[in-house]
Amino acid sequence: MTLYTATYNSPVGPIIIESDGEALTGLRFGEGELGLRFGDSSIGKALHPSPTQAACSLPIFDEVIRWLDDYFAGKQTENTVMLKKDALNQKNATRIIVQPKGTAFQQRVWQALLTIPYGETVSYGELARMVGCKSAQAVGQAVGANPIALLIPCHRVIAAHGKLGGYAYGQEIKRQLLEWEKNPTETFTMRTNRALQG
């Protein structure tokens, strides 16, 4: 199977987009300088498609880039993602089709993550109840194995008593994403002003 990749320049550093040519199979934060730069004029403009075997422009890349542009512009982006197995039953779906690889249990957890609204969080224990699992630890491991960050919003799962808990890309990025979703307009304005002041 050919894997196609592209890099998106986001406020929290580069994001690697991966596809099998049809569905989104991976989305992860890559190496590079991290730290929010909302208001940076280069955000979203540095997309470098780099398929491993063949050169082409993929519609899925365009869809994901639009989603990321909207997300980092402070627009709510919920109800725009659908697992490929569900999309087969819905013709003319306008959602981004994702196909993360994982066990049946992981798939169940990732499906539940799609139900967490923009700007809200659930605890690992609450998520465990949602998927009918007695072990919050097992659910936490499935959350940590999520290969499609942001679109499958694993950053919205927090530990008990409101603590952040772990995140594959570090607690600082998780904190920044959650702050951004709680008040994107104010956060954007504040950070843009700080960037302009130097």
Give the span between the Cα atoms of 156 and 174, in whole angstroms: 8
| Rg, C-alpha atoms of the chain | 17
Catalytic residue flag (residue 154): yes
CB 58 within 8 A of CB 25: no
CB 77 within 8 A of CB 70: yes
The residue type found at 185 is T
Q: Which two tokens stand for residue 180?
A: 């951004």
The residue among 87, 138, 146, 137 whose CA lies nearest residue 113 is 146
> Tokens 């009918």 sit at which residue?
132
For helices 171-182 and 184-197, the axis angle rounded to 10 degrees is: 110
Active-site position among 154, 158, 177, 178: 154
CB 68 within 8 A of CB 6: no
Active site residues: 154
